[in-house]
Amino acid sequence: MDTRKLGALEVSALGAGCMSISANYGAAADKQQGIKTIRTAFDRGITFFDTAEVYGPYTNELLVGEALSPFRDKVVIATKFGFNIEKGGLNSKPEQIKKVVEESLKRLKTDRIDLLYQHRVDPNVPIEEVAGAVKDLIIQGKVLHFGLSEANVNTIRRAHAVLPVSAIQTEYSFMERSVEKNGVLAVCEELGIGFVPWGPLSMGYLTGKLNAQTTFDQKLDLRATFDRFNPKNLADNMPVVNLVNSFASKRNATASQIALAWLMAQKPFIVPIPGTRNIPHLTENLEGTSIALTKSDLQELDTEFLKLKVSGGRMNAMQMALCE
């Protein structure tokens, strides 16, 4: 596995998003299956694992901590703070950040968090105070690197002025390209910040396994509330999926592999974190790292994509209200 840099932090070129093993895309997987998937990812070269206190809540950090404990010093663990889990809403007050970190360290069975993200920007706490609190934790050795999730360009610049930001995490995929237009990807390149796309397979679209008849668990799957995943938009967006599928078949690859290869070809500081709970999907994703798309490949894909329209917002209104 090649490595890439998120700021000064070196990680495997492909990471593992662990959320979907425990939460948000249906019922949680069996714990032993989750542990086996995470450990297999490590055995196959992945050293970068992403979780958060809110996934579960708490259960995903516990799973990741147990799964990675035998080889803790050989991996990079990213987790996040920022939600007020007990009362709802956001809370990035410095005292809350420090409390959450202590609790996350226990669940993760570790003495330091390699990369700590603010999960969503809290409008009630200046980002300078947030960065200052994380800086204190870095001085104490409890955190090694600082990241932001779903932050805008102004917030990124302000945070980076107080404490170097190692990584920005935002949804980005062949299908969801907001960060190309809103300046976030450009500011990462300018400031030497790594970029970690969540949803690199468009929350399942680019696996080629969804269609207009696909249904989602109303209680356990967040996608049930997202516009892009209602029956009409699932049908309307099939041309995008068909484009990736047909290109993949010409390359003797899968849609997932082409979607990941496309993302990794955009910038050398991009480290996607596809999530899966099963080893065949993990194997499929890993094989995508060996696909090198040429300039003409990328041009062909983008030329065809520009002829299409993506229907539906990427998340629901409540979720989008938490993004800058």
Dist. CA 288–CA 105, nearest whole Å = 32
Catalytic residues, which ones? 55
- Report the run of H or E that residue 29 belongs to, with start and end: none
CATH homologous superfamily of 3-201+266-291:
NADP-dependent oxidoreductase domain (3.20.20.100)
Dist. CA 124–CA 259, nearest whole Å = 37
The model's pTM is: 0.97
Q: Give the model confidence (pLDDT) of 29-41 as tens digits.
A: 999 999 999 999 9
The two tokens of residue 40 are 């297999």
Number of other residues whose CB lies within 10 A of the CB of residue 24:
17
Q: Give the model confidence (pLDDT) of 83-122 as tens digits.
A: 999 999 999 999 999 999 999 999 999 999 999 999 999 9
The angle that helices 127-139 and 153-162 make with each other, rounded to 10 degrees, is 40
Are 240 and 304 a contacting pair, CB within 8 Å? Answer: no
* CA 230 from centroid of its chain's CA atoms: 22
- Indicate the average pLDDT of the chain: 97
The two tokens of residue 241 are 């999926």
Number of other residues whose CB lies within 10 A of the CB of residue 180:
12
Within 8 A by CB and 6+ apart from 283, the residues are 44
Q: What is the pLDDT of residue 272?
A: 98
Cα-flanking dihedrals φ and ψ of residue 218, to 5°? -60, -30
